[in-house]
Chain A
Amino acid sequence: MAYDAEDRSDEALLALYAGGDPWAARVLTRRITPRVLGYATRMLAGDRAEAEDVAQETLLRLWRIAPDWRQKDASVTTWAYRVATNLCIDRQRSRRRKAQVTLEDAPEPADLSPSVAERLQDDGRLSALEAALARLPDRQRQAVVLRHLEGLSNHEIALVMEIGVEAVESLTARGKRGLAALLSGRRDALGFEG
């Protein structure tokens, strides 16, 4: 279609999709799927296959609700995060992880040339962060991921988690303290100073 769909809001695109516009489906797919996938991956402690299922199911529910979508209800992304949250919780409840990812699973930075070593150290830090996130209590992990990795405001997180803004602030602060404590043991190995 000729119009510049990339400039339209998620809500406007969803209305176009409901009206039969296939191009709106393409733009929404590219825009929302990676965000839900990233969130679900972190909520499910790095289980990529489960996270992909959650992302696909979340988007499927979005397509189904499209004709009944009312713009005043919520933003599409907030709604998608809420649905993905519920799907992740269902999966977490149905089976507790058999093999917990541990901080020790994160690779050690190798002694190579500076640029390669820096990149590996960067990868190692990210792996350690993911492992530490996986060890946080579910609600703290959810708040930290939504705030610091997905970039939502506290108000948006409150809508997603269906709690008050103060509770969000508390969960985020405790989550960050927990992360810092979990990563402290590997501070030197990961190249953090001080």
Chain B
Amino acid sequence: MMQDQDLDRLLARAAAAPPPASPALLDRVLNDALAEQGRRLDKARKAGRKPQRQRLGVAGGLDRLAEAFGGGPMLAGVLAAACAGLAIGFLEPGTLDLLVGGGGDLADLFPEIDFPMMEG
């Protein structure tokens, strides 16, 4: 019977010398890859949308969030509105007047109406 260590050495030797892939095979595989990629990009263009570039990590999370809100511009709009809401909530009325150009007086929404309670 062959010794275990001889067989292990032989297997290790074979593992270190895998059958090489010929340049022709690598070319065929790469051509398949590029053709498939091109086909998919064409299909995406014809469908009127950009191909989805799957990004990883935080960028990928933002992509998915934007998709959930209906696209990047929609997400930007929502974020801008959220920031404005926060600002309005935190700023003092005086600062807000300064920002919106008001004089600090209460607005008279119904200038033509005299309320009965105000009559002498």
Interface residues of A (CB under 8 A from B): 12, 15-20, 22, 25-26, 28-30, 33-35, 37-38, 41, 48, 51-52, 55-56, 59-60, 63-64, 67, 122, 125-126, 129-130, 144, 148-151, 176, 179-181, 183-184, 187, 192, 194
Is the CB–CB distance between B36 and A64 below 8 Å?
yes
Is the CB–CB distance between A29 and B29 below 8 Å?
yes
Q: With A and B bound together, what is the CA distance between A41 and B15 in angstroms?
A: 13
Known: A30-B26, A129-B11, A148-B15. A180 touches B2 (CB 8 A): yes
Known: A19-B51, A183-B2. A48 touches B19 (CB 8 A): yes
Known: A67-B52, A149-B11. A38 touches B2 (CB 8 A): no
B108 at interface by CB-CB < 8 Å = no
Q: With A and B bound together, what is the CA distance between A183 and B7 in angstroms?
A: 9
Interface residues of B (CB under 8 A from A): 1-4, 6-8, 10-15, 17-22, 25-26, 28-30, 32-34, 36-37, 40-41, 51-56
Of B3, B28, B37, B56, which is within 8 A of A25 by CB?
A: B37
Known: A59-B32, A60-B32, A180-B7. A122 touches B1 (CB 8 A): no
Of A30, A51, A194, which is within 8 A of B3 by CB?
A: A194
Known: A15-B54, A18-B52, A183-B2. A33 touches B29 (CB 8 A): yes
Is the CB–CB distance between A122 and B13 below 8 Å?
yes
Known: A33-B21, A126-B14, A129-B11. A26 touches B30 (CB 8 A): yes
